């Protein structure tokens, strides 16, 4: 009798364990992702920008210039921003965000022009909707190309839509159990210095800025004096700590942008705020110098530090700090 009861108890425990929700792995260190990060939204800059009406609640679209639109995802922690650049003949979509909403449908509301996607780099929150478009362009780096060909599977993506990573309902059309970023084959690859023509006077120059990730690029729009920075810069905690960061190349890329600062007035970054004055770039270069000199204010969690500066922060591992 006791044996039967013991077996029954074990069986019940197994059932309970099987019904237990999977552990939420989305909660990262507080110095990376503060709890209830959305309490600081909306960011002040958006009140000064013209917001456009669109059909999908997941996106907010803002007009930066007559032919430049920022497509913002404020309800997920990354606050990803893509940019739709309109020329006389073609349009370029700089990055495709998380892929949570239907970006292709949104873009067709905004332009009738043929659209090519250019990825500034291949982190998941910049390539999420690549598969919805026919023409995908990336830099000529083997890791960039390989990541696009592999895609991102559901197990990698799901932590980004659980716990505190999301603060608004997801689109009803999103099947969270099968959501993925499918494999795509680049239609074209770019080299440093390439010029992309959109028709009329509008052109984009490719500036190779590795460091944040392999194959990272910025795009310079000389006509509008805009620099599209991807994650090389954004007004928030710059990610200088992950395994695919090369800190020496990152600093060199910031120095390169600093050397061309007379050619642009505003940064259109991959997260948080789409309209940042260019004067921040020399301060980023100086911030890295301060950190490497063993100075600066920071909070630490294990081997990770968050250094605080005006208009941005830097997340870096202690083993990366060197003279």
Length reported for the chain = 323
Domain boundary assignment for the chain? 29-237+248-280
Domain spanning 29-237+248-280: which superfamily?
Ribonuclease Z/Hydroxyacylglutathione hydrolase-like (3.60.15.10)
* pLDDT score, position 322: 84
- Could you report the per-residue pLDDT of 95-146, keeping only the tens digit for each? 999 999 999 999 999 999 999 999 999 999 999 999 999 999 999 999 999 9
- Bond before 245 cis per omega within 30 degrees: no
pLDDT tens by residue, 49-79: 999 999 999 999 999 999 999 999 999 999 9
The model's pTM is: 0.91
323 falls in which pLDDT band (50, 70, 90)? low
């Amino acid at each position: 009798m006791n044996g039967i009861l013991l077996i029954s108890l074990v069986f019940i425990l197994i059932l309970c364990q099987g019904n237990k929700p999977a552990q939420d792995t989305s909660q990262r260190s507080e110095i990376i992702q503060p709890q209830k990060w959305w309490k600081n939204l909306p960011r002040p800059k958006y009140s000064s920008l013209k917001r456009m009406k669109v059909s999908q609640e997941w996106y907010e679209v803002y007009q930066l210039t007559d032919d430049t639109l920022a497509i913002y995802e404020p309800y997920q922690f990354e606050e990803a921003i893509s940019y739709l650049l309109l020329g006389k003949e073609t349009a370029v979509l700089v990055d495709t965000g998380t892929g949570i909403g239907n970006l292709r449908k949104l873009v067709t509301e905004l332009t009738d022009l043929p659209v090519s996607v250019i990825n500034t780099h291949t982190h998941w929150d910049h390539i999420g909707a690549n598969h919805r478009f026919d023409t995908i362009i990336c830099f000529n780096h083997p890791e960039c190309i390989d990541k696009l060909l592999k895609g991102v599977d559901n197990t990698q993506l799901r932590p980004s839509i659980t716990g505190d990573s999301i603060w608004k309902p997801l689109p009803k059309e999103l099947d969270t159990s099968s959501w993925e970023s499918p494999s795509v084959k680049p239609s074209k690859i770019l080299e440093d210095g390439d010029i992309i023509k959109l028709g009329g006077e509008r052109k984009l120059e490719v500036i190779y800025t590795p460091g944040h990730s392999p194959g990272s690029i910025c795009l310079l729009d000389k006509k509008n004096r805009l620099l599209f920075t991807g994650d090389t810069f954004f007004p928030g905690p710059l990610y200088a700590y992950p395994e695919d960061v090369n800190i020496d190349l990152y600093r060199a890329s910031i120095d390169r942008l600093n050397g061309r600062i007379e050619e642009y007035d505003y940064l259109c970054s991959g997260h948080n705020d789409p309209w940042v004055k260019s004067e921040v770039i020399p301060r980023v270069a100086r911030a890295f110098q301060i950190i490497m000199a063993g100075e600066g204010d920071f909070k630490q969690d294990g081997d990770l530090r968050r250094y605080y500066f005006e208009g941005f922060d830097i997340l870096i591992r202690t083993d990366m700090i060197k003279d």
